[in-house]
Amino acid sequence: MLLTVNSKWSGVCLCLQMRTSQTFLRDTTVTSPLALLLFGGQLEVVHGEGYVLVDGWIRIRAAAPTAVLVQRLRGGLDTLLQQRIKQPGLDWGAQAGELINTIIKLLQDEEATRQRER
């Protein structure tokens, strides 16, 4: 699967796969390439080829600087969530609020762009 960060196309998140006589996908959710990058599996930036590999099999085309920025955002979010799990009562703090607001803004901007293109 090859998507582009600023693509009109969406990916599909698989939640349940059943195999009987054939393979059936159930409980699937349509998602954007940016959401896959921020909330999907492990990221690997392939600089020379101009894409990010999510979970070792989903390719999302992105310029190297964009890919690195998204990877850093993702790293910050992962760290924040790990801290929150270890210490649930911990105050989010201003830095965490900025990070979360940045991610929300990016996702909202992506959705607004998609709506305009329809």
| Tally of structural domains, the chain | 1
Question: Could you give the percent of the chain with pLDDT greater than 90?
Answer: 35
pLDDT at residue 17, rounded to an integer: 66
Give the range of the structural domain holding residue 38, as residue numbers without chain letter.
Answer: 2-117
Residue 61: pLDDT above 50?
yes
Query: What's the whole-model pTM score?
Result: 0.76
pLDDT at residue 2, rounded to an integer: 44
Distances (CA, A) of 83 to 29, 32, 35: 28, 27, 21
CB atoms under 10 Å from CB of 53, counted, come to 16
